[in-house]
């Protein structure tokens, strides 16, 4: 990614690309969301099947996030629309998070 960015700046500075502003979408980090846990710190719910394998998943109030072993659904309860990334990645279990929540933004380049 860094290489592409540096290539872009070089082409921009040498006049090899169009210098009109363009808009791109980015996903800005808001927070890391942990799995629900029991009082003794054990994971008490898994990622809801609607989210599994769906990076950049748009979450709105009331959408399912997790499901307990008993089948109870835990919903997203915030008013803000967010996008979930890195959902249920095995490498992040030891880091203590189930997914990353982001905000979609448009920026001019």
Please write down the HEC assignment for all residues of the chain.
CHHHHHHHHHHHHCCCCCCCCCEEEEEEEEEEECCCECCCCCECEEECCCCCCCCCEEECCCCEEEEECCCCEEECCCCCCEEEECCCCHHHCCCCCCEEEEEEEEEEC
pLDDT in tens, the chain (109 residues): 888 889 888 988 888 877 677 788 999 999 999 999 999 999 999 999 999 989 899 999 999 999 998 999 999 999 999 999 999 998 888 888 999 999 999 988 7
Q: Please name the CATH architecture into which domain 21-108 falls.
A: Single Sheet (2.20)
Q: Where are the domains of the chain?
A: 21-108
Q: What pLDDT is recorded for position 82?
A: 98
pLDDT at 19: 67
- pTM attached to this predicted model: 0.77
């Amino acid at each position: 990614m860094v290489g592409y960015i540096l290539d872009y700046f070089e082409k921009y500075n040498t006049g090899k690309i169009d210098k009109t502003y363009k808009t791109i979408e980015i996903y800005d980090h808001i927070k890391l969301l942990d799995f629900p846990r029991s009082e003794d710190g054990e994971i008490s719910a898994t990622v809801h099947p609607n989210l599994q394998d769906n990076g950049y998943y748009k979450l709105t109030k009331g959408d399912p996030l997790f499901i307990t072993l008993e089948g109870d659904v835990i919903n997203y309860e915030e008013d803000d629309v967010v996008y979930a990334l890195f959902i249920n990645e095995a490498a992040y279990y030891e880091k203590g998070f189930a997914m990353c929540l982001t905000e979609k933004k448009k920026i001019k380049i």
